[in-house]
Amino acid sequence: MDYSGKTAVITGAGSGIGRAIALRLARDGADVQVLDVDSVAAQQAVQAIQAAGGRAKAWACDVTDADQVEQVIADVVQQASRLDVLVNNAGVASIGSLTQTNSEEFDRVYQVNVRGVYHCLSSAVPRMVEQNGGVILNLASIASLVGIKDRFAYSMSKGAVLTMTYSVAIDYIDNGIRCNCICPARIHTPFVDGYLKKHHAGHEAEVFEKLSKYQPIGRMGTPEEVAALVAFLCSDDAAFITGTAYPLDGGVTSLI
């Protein structure tokens, strides 16, 4: 993909899937703006990009803070003159059924996964309208498409991401803005390893294998595979694609 001359903002890009997306788009020529609540992780991602010959800048940004998001996006546009790509990747996980999810946990997930996406869209879309074009890619989940046991709050939030994607796509199609989302199944990130260590100490390998086999293809996806799909959907090669949710799930939604 050719992203030469394009500016891409990626939230939650300090680690995991977001970092892989930042590295991929930078490799393809984009000027990558790495946003993360963890400023150290953001800077480390930028250093990795620069070491590979790419261009990137780190921004400390808490997506739950509307004023902070607006200021960062404003500064990015002021420096780069454009905002070509927004990838809403920042998010948090939550495990538990309805009765296992208290109001504090529900609000925590909502603030990051729903309001965080809303804040970024609210800051980016008007600027894309002004420049008559742009691409938005939201990270949803297979939890947006099918029922997953013990993921009540998480499913709620990713369902909202899916429908926000549809709304933005139809509302701004005449402004040259495309908006899609990706719905991954389990992706092997540091979060997965941390979860296994915390909740299944001494049985990590056994549980990892079980989680991997949830995908009919027999394994988890990789952050790089997510990044490859992002790179395509945000590129000019995907100019005819908008308002679409792409499962990236090793066969979960079609074979189970």
According to the model, what pLDDT value does residue 256 have? 65
pTM exceeds 0.85, yes or no = yes
According to the model, what pLDDT value does residue 178 have? 98
Alpha helices in 84-236 (DSSP H): 103-109, 116-130, 152-171, 190-199, 204-213, 223-233
First to last CA, the chain: 33
Q: Both tokens of residue 218? A: 């027999």
According to the model, what pLDDT value does residue 245 have? 98
Identify how many contiguous H helices and E strands the chain contains and give both numbers. 10, 7
According to the model, what pLDDT value does residue 255 have? 81
Distances (CA, A) of 49 to 22, 39, 139, 180: 8, 15, 21, 25
Q: Which CATH number fits domain 7-185+223-250: 3.10.20.740, 1.20.1050.40, 3.20.20.105, 3.40.50.720?
A: 3.40.50.720
The residues pairing with 55 across neighbouring beta strands, listed in sequence order, are: 31
According to the model, what pLDDT value does residue 195 have? 86
Q: Averaged in consecutive runs of 10 residues, what is the pLDDT profile of the chain (256 residues)? A: 97 98 98 98 98 98 98 98 98 96 98 98 98 98 96 98 98 98 96 89 94 96 98 98 98 87
Rounded Cα–Cα distance for residues 233 and 180 (Å): 8
**What residue segments make up the domains of the chain, in order of their start?**
7-185+223-250, 187-220
According to the model, what pLDDT value does residue 199 have? 85
Q: Both tokens of residue 187? A: 């992706």
246: number of CA atoms within 13 Å, CB side?
20
Rounded Cα–Cα distance for residues 117 and 242 (Å): 18
Number of other residues whose CB lies within 10 A of the CB of residue 98: 10
* Residue with the two structure tokens 């390998």: 205
- The amino acid occupying position 254 is S
Catalytic residue set: 154
